[in-house]
Amino acid sequence: GVTNGLSTDPLTLPQWVLVQQQKEAPHARGNLSILLNAICVACKFVDSAVRKAGLSDLLGLAGTGNIQGEDQKKLDIVANEVFINVLRRSGQCSVLVSEEVDDEVIIEGGGEYSVVFDPLDGSSNIDCGVSIGTILGIYKKEKTEAPSVKNVLKSGRELVGAAYCLYGSSCSMVLSVGKQPAHFTLDPSLGEFVLTTPAMSVPEKGNIYSINEGNSVLWDTAVSRYVQECKNPSNGGSPKSLRYVGSMVADVHRTILYGGIFMYPADRKATKGKLRLLYEGNPMAYLVESAGGRAITHEGPVLDIVPASIHERCPIFLGSRIDIEELEAFLHAKA
């Protein structure tokens, strides 16, 4: 109920998790619930660090690099440490893969779950106060499987859950464990994520395209022609609007809410695209598909790719079902 403009019946993320467990798996031991609650705590910690970054000397470079040869920002490192520590302490994980850590982290005697994550995505936006986010994918291993990198070198179809947290004008968590994603908004005064949309669905079609157009000289013919079609539809319809934040979480969140298409294609320079399959492409593809949208590479579904290594990249096009179908007509056309 809403009384005097206040929801007097808030459902917090930990409560939602418990309700789901009682509904879906009444005999489960609650290990996934413990893991999801741990993720929730880490996201709240990072949100709080992001909000006060300028005040507590957390902006700027840390003076180190990660395996991708990228400079690490101080907040990248803080976020990475928080997620590693909180996930390890949850007791539910045996393998962790982070964008910021070269090798997989194996936790001996940990639980059945493995988590792949980008602790703070959109680093180029940190220092100017533009939205950034965290992306996570969750796998479960067989009890007999030894903890190893093999637990996560699986296609995205094997994910048991995925989530992102957007540190934006408000802090949003979008989470799916096999069903349509649920959207939670952080109530800063409660310090709790409160359920704001129980089941999200991507509009069938949108009027926004989102791509780093600065790379257009490097695109292949299909992508160039499709983007031209977005700007100047051959049926004489209205052009799409261009929106590109440069933080995948923000661009994907908008795409799920408003519809349209987000693209990071392979190009002449980045021959496998830029985004990482395990902790960027797959979790987002899983969430978008769970919301009724689609996510593909130049060839087929992102979720069908079986990764060979933990930091590999993949091209990605995701969004509204009809927009992706229109793109496919260009991708499959003979040059």
Interface with ligand AHM (CB under 6 A): 70, 99, 118, 121-124, 212, 246-248, 251, 264, 274
Crossing angle for the helix pair 74-90 and 31-51, to the nearest 10 degrees: 160
Shortest separation between residue 220's beta carbon and ligand AHM, angstroms: 17
Residue 274 binding result from Mg ion, ligand AHM, none, given CB thresholds of 5 to 8 Å by partner type: ligand AHM
Range in contact with Mg ion (rule: CB under 5 A) among 16-24, 75-83, 120-128, 327-335: 120-128
Q: Which is nearer to Mg ion, 121 or 323 (CB)?
A: 121
Shortest separation between residue 263's beta carbon and ligand AHM, angstroms: 10
Residue 227 binding result from ligand AHM, Mg ion, none, given CB thresholds of 5 to 8 Å by partner type: none
Strand partners, 313: 276
Shortest separation between residue 253's beta carbon and ligand AHM, angstroms: 11
Shortest separation between residue 245's beta carbon and ligand AHM, angstroms: 8
Nearest to 175 by CA among 27, 78, 291: 291
Crossing angle for the helix pair 31-51 and 13-24, to the nearest 10 degrees: 160
Q: Which is nearer to ligand AHM, 76 or 192 (CB)?
A: 76
- Is residue 100 within the footprint of Mg ion (CB under 5 A)? no
Tokens coding 116: 């792949």
- Is residue 121 within the footprint of Mg ion (CB under 5 A)? yes
Residue 247 binding result from ligand AHM, Mg ion, none, given CB thresholds of 5 to 8 Å by partner type: ligand AHM
Shortest separation between residue 56's beta carbon and Mg ion, angstroms: 23
Find the binder of Mg ion among 76, 100, 118, 229 (CB under 5 A).
118
Q: Which is nearer to ligand AHM, 197 or 212 (CB)?
A: 212
Residue 212 binding result from ligand AHM, Mg ion, none, given CB thresholds of 5 to 8 Å by partner type: ligand AHM
Residue 117 binding result from ligand AHM, Mg ion, none, given CB thresholds of 5 to 8 Å by partner type: none
Q: Which residues bind Mg ion (CB under 5 A)?
A: 118, 121
